[in-house]
Amino acid sequence: MNQSGHHPRRFERINFLSSGSPESDHARARLVGRYGDVHSDEADVVVALGGDGLMLQVLHKFMGRNVPIYGMNRGSVGFLMNEFRETGLRKRLSSAQSSIIHPLLMKAETVTGKLSEARAINEVSMLRQSAQAAKIRVRVDGQVRLDELVADGLLIATPAGSTAYNLSANGPILPLDATLMALTPISAFRPRRWRGALLSDRAEVVLEVLEAHKRPVAAVADHFEIRHVMRVKVTTDHSTGVEILHDPGHSMEERILREQFGH
């Protein structure tokens, strides 16, 4: 995380995006009336009005576009969002703290040989598609680290995503500036005591599905799903980033710290 320098940035041209809920649409109308609205191509900043689901969509949409995203909570879950207030928005924007998030890049091959790729802000997950547990071999930088994981699945999370699905699967919470990925099993049956691993964000992780026809597995990058995968490679895409803005004292770094101490 890097705090903005001594000279506050100016955010004159704002693009407001609503999740489409009545609360978000109402908030957008009032904010546009107060601050105006420009097309996203001309915006100095995008203000997203909704919950974390909308924020994830907006981060994907503006990935690599070099425009910061500032969320205000009008949804039920708002870990990525700031508190909603109509007044003083430009002042809040200019004093906001900046976090750069690098997504995971997933390259997947299906049992029929089809190749797909997708990026994930939160996590790439491998999930069983049938009643039978998945069997997955884990390679890190070309070396087999786990010959056979028998589980409901497995996920690789970014620091930003470590408090999402990863946390509910009992994975570790990572500080936002950690150069790590969390590798977390989902309901591991064998090895029974394996709780996952912390890997460098420079690592290349290859997940091979064993008995892929008998035990089908889907790969999901955030909300993009590919079914019947045979092999999935995951790396951190350091060449692509997206910038999130948070009010001072409510940065993602601070929220993640609070989460680690159970607040």
Q: Is the pLDDT score of 63 beyond 70?
A: yes
Span 163-172, pLDDT tens digits:
899 999 999 9
DSSP assignment letter at 166: H
Is 9 within a domain? no
Residues 79 and 119 in one domain: no
Cα separation, 188 vs 195, whole angstroms: 8
Domain identity same for 196 and 131: yes
Decide if 73 contacts 18 (C-beta within 8 A). Answer: no
What is the CATH number for 21? Answer: 3.40.50.10330
| Same domain as 229, residue 127 | yes
Domain containing residue 194: 104-236
Q: List the Cα angle 169/164/84 in 5-degree steps.
A: 155
The answer on pLDDT for 4 being more than 50 is no
**How far is residue 263's CA from residue 260's CA, in Å, rounded to a whole number?**
8
Q: Is residue 2 part of a domain?
A: no
Three-class SS state of 54: helix
Q: What pLDDT digit, counting tens, does each position of 86-113 carry?
A: 999 999 999 999 989 999 999 999 999 9
Q: What pLDDT was estimated at residue 7?
A: 59
| Contacting residues for 179 by C-beta, under 8 A, at least 6 apart | 200, 201, 202
If pLDDT is split at 50, 70 and 90, which confidence band does 138 have? very high
What is the rounded CA–CA span in Å between residue 57 and residue 178? Answer: 23
Residue 88 located in a structural domain: yes
The pLDDT of 1-6, averaged and rounded, is: 43
pLDDT of amino acid 77: 64
Same-domain check for residues 62 and 122: no
Write down the H helix ranges in 62-137. Answer: 89-94
Question: Are 232 and 252 part of one and the same domain?
Answer: no
Element (H, E) at 59: helix 52-61
Say how many Å lie between the first and final Cα of the chain, rounded.
21
Residues 230 and 141 reside in one and the same domain? yes
Which pTM value belongs to this model? Answer: 0.88
Nearest to 181 by CA among 204, 165, 200: 200
Instruction: List b or e across 204-219, with b for residues whose CB sees 16 or more CB atoms inside 10 angstroms.
Output: ebbbbbbebeebbbbb
Residue-wise pLDDT tens digits, 113-127: 999 999 999 999 999
Is there a domain that residue 6 lies in? no
What is the enclosing helix (H) or strand (E) of 34? helix 22-35
CA distance 139 to 31: 49
Q: Are residues 93 and 111 in the same domain?
A: no
Instruction: Report residue 1's pLDDT band, with 50, 70 and 90 as the boundaries.
Output: very low
Higher per-residue confidence, 255 vs 33: 33
- Indicate if the pLDDT at residue 263 is higher than 80: no
- Domains: count for the chain: 2
> And the tokens for 31?
């904010």
Instruction: Report yes or no on 4 lying in a domain.
Output: no
Are 160 and 249 within one domain? no
Tell me which residues are annotated as active site. Answer: 52
Residues 31 and 65 in one domain: yes
pLDDT-above-70 percentage for the chain: 96
Same domain? For 93 and 127 the reply is no
Are 83 and 150 members of one domain? Answer: no
Instruction: State the CATH number of the domain containing residue 134.
Output: 2.60.200.30
Spatial separation of the C-alpha atoms in residues 79 and 252, rounded to whole Å: 8
Which tens digit of pLDDT belongs to each residue from 175-213?
A: 888 899 999 999 999 998 899 999 999 999 999 999 999
pLDDT computed for residue 256 by the predictor? 77
Across 20-34, 116-130, 248-262, least confident range: 248-262
- 23 & 123 share domain: no
